[in-house]
Structure 1
Amino acid sequence: MTLGPHPYYWPNTKELSYGGSPPIATRSGFMALACMPFLIILGAKTNPITALTGISHEKLFVWHNWVAWAMFVLALIHTFPFIVYHMWLGDIKTQWMSGGVWVTGVVAIIAQAWLTLMSIPWIRNRYYELFKATHFFMAMVFVIFFFLHCDFRMSSWDYFIATAVLYTLSWLYAQCRVYFEHGFRHKARISAESDETIKVSIDTAMEWSPGQHIFIRFLTGIHALTAHPFTICSVPQENGQNTLVFYIKQHGGVTGRLMSIAKKNPDTSISVLMDGPYGGIAAGRMEEFDRSVVVGGGAGAGLTLSMIEDFVRFSSAKSSSSSEDRQEKEMNVIVATRDPGMRMWYLQALEDLAERQKVQKPVLGLSIHIHETHSSISGSVSAPEKNELEVSLDGDEAKKNSVVSDECRLSGTTAEIFGIQVFTGRPDLLSTILQIAGQEGTSVGVIVCGPASMTHDVSTAASDIQAQILARKPGSARELWLHRENFSF
């Protein structure tokens, strides 16, 4: 649409002018302008597209990014033909000194370049607090100067009116959820589970499903101005006395502030505002699969707790069924961590889960593999000559092994309930998932929450399996479904 129509420039001469706006510049400029309503709406947590399709905002973010790049490229194609034309005409300095459309256009495209380039994943992840602090400010600068640049030419401001109406409605709906649905009554209890992990607990009457996330605004200091998304690591209880639990890895910004508060004043409470829940996995979705794989890395291990509890409740509900029916469902949980203190809070959370669900015998089909990748392995589990060392926690052996220590307060019975095994070294996610999905005719659900490298490895394995399914390769699964969650760390 940009390069197809001709001519790109009017056939002007020094004596004859057909116009000062090259056709390619006008065409690409209006196409860039037409991207704006979609760009803004796709970046909102609540938006008409989510309302119509049911696709949560974080899944639409990939479209937000691509529309941003399309709009940026179109803006560049809009800009340079004017430079070429006025350099040929010899009045580019005069045009620039006159200000107006040139100055507003340059400011708008500089702001747009900042927004687009800072959203490149490795830059955004590395400088997230800077990205967060500047994104909305630069977006405001861009919209204002873009508005002035268009100067009501033809139908240009119609796109701004459409954008303003749609975004205002989306914003107002989100604010109503924050202040009227959840209100100011919630307080978060903050505690340091390890030197790198913070536990946040919020008592609430709200309902949610496993894998969902909530935007939380901690009303303390400058961080009261921003909301951050965190994955919920608990599930609603049948008695209605629900507690939102989050395990958050310490970084800079608000998480660093929370860790500082937790260490100075253990179990302190902070008033919070909540927006959500969003995303997640549809209720009963994982029960549709013969096998499920849940992978958590770092604080993403918290997500696995909600999935485990959901599986335990499903297994308990099916206790009246035949043993053969119950064994058809399997859940394999893989947790990897560099935090030496992670094992303690994770095992304690599992023990609390067993007590809460009143589970006293092994859960059929459930296995949990904990992979410790830090350089100094605590207890008597030392790094072996090989890459991985399996430490069984079954029966009497569990009582002798320091993995089940007084510090962790985890009984051998609890270890047997969840089928826990501890390894040193990174998990081989590719081969593990390929092996689990290698049974012909099975359906497999895969969930991953962790660092980008872990998400990439799991996605690669899922793609390989899906390619085998499409190729109808013998011995492959009949279905593989992948869910990626990115808000726990």
Structure 2
Amino acid sequence: MDSMMGMVPFLDQPVMLHSDRDPGECTMTPEQCAYKSQYWVNWYQADHRYSLPTVAFFLTAIVLFATGHFLSGIAPQRLQRSAIWSRSVSFLRFLSYKSWRVAGWNTQSLGVFLLGGAGLVFFLAMTLGPHPYYWPNTKEISYGGSPPIATRTGFMALASLPFLIILGAKANPITALTGISHEKLNIWHNWVAWAMFVLALIHTFPFIIVHVKKGDLVMTWKTGGVWVTGVVALIAQAWLTFMSVPWIRNRYYEFFKGTHFFMAMVFMIFFFLHCDFRMSSWDYFIATAVIYTLCWLYSQCRTYFEHGFKHKARLFAVTENILKITIDTSMEWAPGQHIFLRFLTCGAHAFTSHPFTICSVSQKGKKNQLQFFVKCRGGMTGRLMSLALKNPDAQVPVLLDGPYGGIPQGRLVDFERNLIIGGGAGAGLTLSMVEEFVQLSHLRPKDEMKVIVATRDAGMRFWYLQALEDIAHRHSKDETIPRLSIHIHETFSEEVGREPGTEDLKLEAGAKIQSVVSKECSQLTTEMFGVHFFSGRPDLPAITHQMADQEGASVGVVVCGPSSMHHDVCEAASAEQSKIMAKKPGSARELWLHTENFS
């Protein structure tokens, strides 16, 4: 191993795991020696002074959330019904739900900003607090070649690396400890990446400034391998960071995903070489490799050993842009969970997996069927739609990875009143909630559920009612399901954002679909599930407030849809938390909100 590492020209020789911490004998005056070796600027202890506190900061945040998750699971009912518990939980939920909408974009929640602000204060304090920023070197006296501000930011960026990688993994120990699903941790993956990038820039430019002043920048670049590895790592890091900006990532998702892992590999290799085993720097790469490998192996073992190669996906084109995918399986999952599917028949897409929210409910010990209703947007989903149109009821081999995220098992059963909201392709999520309610209605005869679905698709009525018929058939239901109502709001007849001539086509398509529905879906289905149709967008804040307008009630809200829908529901949910904290008359005892990103 040492001989192989010795062949790498960018590494000092001989290659070791840790470099020597012995500074040697100081030949300067006692005052200068003390200045050079003071606590915050001693180069030979920089990893201990800056890397370890950074690790401690991240671990503290994880422990706090893990403790809250643990306590919420073991707290007795008597404590949970107490006023102090209710107000404390409502305050934390207010921080989690409160957000703003700016120029058509949803901001992160207030709680995310506060935690991010704590991180900002920590990194600013550790970067700008200690002095000096630069060594007062002269031609006669040299305290060191690495500016203190560059040293400290470099080691803080290094210590952030394991957390950056773990936060981006689908199966990771942070999710296991805190109960926060991986897709909700992704915002921290992005924010830690930005923190690392800014720290890397602050680490880089002081070296440039020092060597420009000395007049040897070009010579240092030509003779210093550490500069080459650092610049390559920084370029790869800049690509990874800027390409992950949401509007770029979402618009060019296939390209983003295809390049992200390659550039991440380039970054890791050159960052590793750049650190050149200084002090304990390589320990952080070892920790990153071990933890990420375990996360990756866990995911792969579930795919290949638990789920195997046996699954086939059936494809049905239910409308011109909605694809139904069904997979027979023996696996089990919770309502609202999503799973990553890798279709082995889509060319280059066979090497990538994509998340889809499961629209059906599993039954323990029985043969189950995964169902997905997918809105085709081109790329892999467009390819699948083409297969379904060419060959109705086509079957393609598929690999499963999951399930992940979703609503904790039995969580909705904890609430007396449930509001389920779906928009666009997110309507598929509501089906799993409806099915769970039908499945468990005999256990909670007083509970009620209201489902709100908003769609621009004129054909949605057909496939949604057909899915309800399938639910009734699976659970042998032939009578009205009490305390269940489903309101379908068809927005394709609205004037907003309509191009000339488009509306007539949509209304004509809607009329044809309704004709088909009247033949295919009996009146019994709409009566059985309490289905009502409306024209125009639903007033989601008013509906949310109405559900919570019952003193002492416990309310669960689930939403999956476009960002504007998420914002409206989150705003209403945060307003209800304020009422609960103030103990206003007529307010609910609690209101819990779950937002689902995939559809």
The answer to whether TM tops 0.5 is: yes
2:167 to 29, 34, 42: 42
Contact 1:35 1:67 in 2 (8 A): yes
The percentage of counterpart residues that share the same residue type is: 69
Whether contact under 8 Å (2:183, 2:405) holds in the other structure is: yes
Provide the rounded CA distance (Å) in 1 between the counterparts of 2:526 and 2:265.
53
d(CA) in 2 for partners of 1:278, 1:129: 21
| Higher mean C-alpha displacement, 82-91 vs 168-177 | 82-91
In structure 1, the partner of 2:533 is 422
Give the whole-Å Cα distance in 2 for the aligned partners of 1:259 and 1:14.
Answer: 71
**Residue in 2 aligned with 1:461?**
572
Instruction: Identify if the C-alpha distance between structure 1 residues 380 and 120 changes in structure 2 by more than 3 Å, giving closer, same or farther.
Output: closer
Give the corresponding residue for 2:314.
189
Distance 1:431 1:404, change over 3 A: farther
In the TM superposition, residue 35 of structure 1 has moved relative to its aligned partner by 0.4
Q: Show the counterpart of 1:295.
A: 421
**Is the alpha carbon distance of 1:468 and 1:65 closer, same or farther for their aligned partners in structure 2, counting shifts above 3 Å?**
farther
For 1:344, the equivalent position in structure 2 comes to: 462
Q: Distance in 1 between matches of 2:476 and 2:375?
A: 29
C-alpha deviations, 1:205-233, integer Å up to 9, x for none? 11111111111110012111001111110
Is 1:78 aligned to residue 203 of structure 2? Answer: yes
Alignment partner of 2:482 out of 357, 360, 364: 364
Is the 1:214–1:274 Cα contact (8 Å) retained in structure 2?
Answer: yes
More displaced 10-residue stretch of structure 1: 373-382 or 474-483 = 373-382
| Equivalence for 1:482 | 593
Instruction: For 1:356-395, list aligned pairs within 5 A.
Output: 356-375=474-493, 376=503, 378=507
* Partner SS, residue 316 of structure 1: coil
Distance 1:28 1:279 in 2: 34
Alignment correspondent of 1:156: 281
Change in CA separation of 1:81 and 1:402 when aligned onto 2, cut-off 3 Å: closer
Q: Mapping of 1:313-352 within 5 angstroms?
A: 313-318=439-444, 326=445, 328-352=446-470
By how many angstroms is 1:90 displaced? 2.1
Work out the CA distance in 2 between the residues paired with 1:284 and 1:408. Answer: 37
Which of 314, 326, 330 is the aligned partner of 1:205? 330
> Aligned partners of 1:349, 1:82: CA distance in 2, in Å?
63
Go from structure 1 to structure 2 and tell me whether the alpha carbon gap of 1:304 and 1:132 turns closer, same or farther (over 3 Å shift). same
1:221-300 equivalent positions in 2, closer than 5 A: 221-237=347-363, 240-300=366-426
Aligned CA distance change for structure 1 residues 211 and 408 (closer, same or farther; 3 Å): farther
Q: CA deviation at 1:99?
A: 5.0
Cα 1:285–1:36, aligned 2, differ >3 Å: closer, same or farther?
same
Task: Give the match's secondary structure for 2:127.
Answer: coil
- Pair 26,408 (structure 1): closer, same or farther in 2 beyond 3 Å: farther
Give distance in 2, aligned partners of 1:378 and 1:154: 70
Displacement of 1:346 in angstroms is 0.5
Give the partner amino acid of 1:35: S
Aligned to 2:115: none
Local SS of the residue matching 1:17:
coil
Instruction: Tell me, in whole angstroms, the C-alpha distance in 2 between the residues paired with 1:254 and 1:379.
Output: 29
Point out which structure has higher relative CO (alpha carbons under 8 A, 6+ apart). 2
Cα distance in 1 between the residues matched to 2:254 and 2:564: 21
Matched, 1:447 2:558: yes
Shifted more, 55-64 versus 107-116: the winner is 55-64
Greater share of residues in helix? 2
Q: Deviations over 1:355-414 (max 9, x none)?
A: 2222222222211111122244547989xxxxxxxxxxxxxxxxxx99575556222221
Compute the RMSD of aligned alpha carbons. Answer: 2.1
Shift of 1:163: 0.8
Provide, for residues 137-172 of structure 1, a one-character-per-residue CA deviation record: whole Å limited to 9, x for no partner. Answer: 111111111111111122111111111111111111
- How many residues matched? 462
User: Which residue among 467, 473, 484 is the counterpart of 1:355?
Assistant: 473
Asked whether the 8 Å contact 2:459–2:510 carries over to 1, the reply is: no
Cα distance in 1, alignment partners of residues 239 and 563 from structure 2 = 23
Higher mean Cα deviation, 231-240 or 269-278?
A: 231-240
d(CA) in 2 for partners of 1:344, 1:230: 21
Q: Which amino acid aligns with 1:120?
A: V
- TM-superposed CA distance for 1:96, in Å, is 2.6
Is residue 324–residue 371 contact of structure 2 (8 Å, CA) maintained in 1?
yes
Check 1:230–1:162 CA distance in 2 against 1; reply closer, same or farther (3 A cut): same
Greater mean deviation of Cα atoms: 363-372 or 460-469? 460-469
- In 2, the alpha carbon distance for the partners of 1:46 and 1:402 equals 42
Aligned equivalents of 1:77 and 1:477: distance in 2?
Answer: 50
What code does the residue aligned with 2:564 have?
Answer: S
Give the conservation status (yes or no) of the 8 Å contact 2:421–2:452.
yes
* Amino acid in structure 2 at the alignment position of 1:454: M
| 1:80-135 per-position Cα deviation (integer Å, ceiling 9, x unaligned) | 21122222222222223335222221221121122222222222222222221111
Larger Rg: 2
Query: Secondary structure of 1:79's partner?
Result: helix
| 8 Å contact from structure 1 (residues 345, 408) kept in 2 | no
Amino acid at match of 2:243: M
Q: Is the 8 A contact 2:462 2:513 kept in 1?
A: no
Alpha-carbon distance, 1:51 to partner = 3.3
CA contact (8 A) 1:338 1:374 kept: yes
Using the TM superposition, name which of 122-131 and 256-265 deviates more: 122-131
Q: CA separation in 2, counterparts of 1:94 and 1:259?
A: 58
- Give, in angstroms, the shift of residue 20 of structure 1: 1.5
**Structure 1 residues without counterparts, runs of 5 or longer:** 319-325, 383-400
Aligned-pair distance for 1:316?
3.2
Which sits farther off after the overlay, 408-417 or 307-316? 408-417
Determine the C-alpha separation between the residues in 1 that align with 2:450 and 2:235: 48
Secondary structure in 1 matching 2:128: coil
TM-score by length of 1: 0.90
Work out which of the residue numbers 248, 261, 267 in structure 2 matches 1:142: 267
Report the Cα distance in structure 2 between the residues aligned to 1:158 and 1:194, rounded to whole angstroms: 54
> How far does residue 432 in structure 1 lie from its aligned partner after superposition?
1.7
Relative to 1, partners in 2 of residues 1:175 and 1:110: Cα closer, same or farther, differing over 3 Å? same
Distance 1:161 1:239 in 2: 41
Does the aligned pair in 1 maintain the 2:459–2:513 contact within 8 Å? Answer: no
Task: Report the CA distance shift for 1:85/1:484 in structure 2 as closer, same or farther (over 3 A).
Answer: same
Question: Which residue identity lines up with residue 187 of structure 1 in the other structure?
Answer: K
Unaligned residue ranges in structure 2 (runs of 5+): 1-125, 494-502
- Amino acid in the other structure paired with 1:142: F
Residue identity in the other structure for 2:373: Y
Q: Partners of 2:237 and 2:548 in 1: how far apart?
A: 44
More divergent stretch after superposition (189-198 vs 456-465): 456-465
How far does the alpha carbon of each residue in 1:17-37 deviate from its partner, in whole angstroms, 9 at most, with x for none? 211211111001000000001
